[in-house]
Amino acid sequence: MKKKTIAMVLAMMCIATACGEAEATGGRGRLEDAQEAQEDQDEAESKEAEDTPAAEAPEAEGDTEAEAPEADAAEEPTEAAAEWTGLDFTTQDFDGNTVTAQEIFSAHEYTMVNIWAAWCGPCVGELPELEELSRDFADKDCAIVGYLVDGYDGSELADAKKIASQAGLTYLNIIPGDKMDRVFDVYAVPTSFFVDRNGHVVGEKIEGAWPEGYTQQLEELLGE
């Protein structure tokens, strides 16, 4: 009896063990099946996403990309032109041509302005010497400009033109014009002074006819 009971117990234990193993094996099988199914689904979704074209992004309201400049657009100057700070006036020469202070003085390193009048004996007397000096000055990048203070008067201007022609003057002569009463503030004629390339008065004014003094002062200026 005992042997039979023991045998039955052992048989039942074997059955339980076998059932446990089968249940465990079945559990693992179901888990593996679920994992495989999930993997198959993920693979299918991934393939579907690859085959589906991406939706175009909506354009932003206002293009943020800078437009390329037009090829024919004018280039801005890299440097601003230097402002003229020297003597400032506009007038005419003996031939009626309009000239400005900047045009006159910027053309040479130094320019001597000789202020004269047609009725002034010493002024007229030194004109031939001034013509000779103007040629010497030209070799040194300098010039002479005559300023006829009574050139506003038609008859005086006519007389001055005759005198200039007789003296063989080739250098520039100008008449009174805009702002010139403030620029040329003199009390006697002839009076001469030098102006540099920037339109600034340099050196000392020379009153009276003195050609040697003009040369001396120019040499001093050039030697600085």
CA atoms within 13 A on the CB side of 128: 4
The string of DSSP codes covering 74-94 is PPPPSSPPPPP-S---EEEBT
Among 207, 214, 6, 2, CA closest to 110: 214
Helix, strand, coil proportions of the chain in percent (round to 5)? 45, 15, 40
Tens-place pLDDT, residues 168-223: 999 999 999 887 877 787 889 999 999 999 999 999 999 999 999 999 999 999 99
Mean pLDDT value across residues 25-47: 52
Tens-place pLDDT, residues 78-90: 444 579 999 999 9
The model carries a pTM of: 0.64
Distance CA 157, CA 169 (A): 15
For the sheet containing 142-148, what is the strand order?
173-174, 142-148, 110-116, 191-196, 201-207
* Tokens 């045009």, residue located: 103
Mean pLDDT value across residues 9-38: 45
SS3 192: strand
Give ∠ CA 161-163-168 in degrees, rounded to 5. 95
Distance CA 205, CA 207 (A): 6
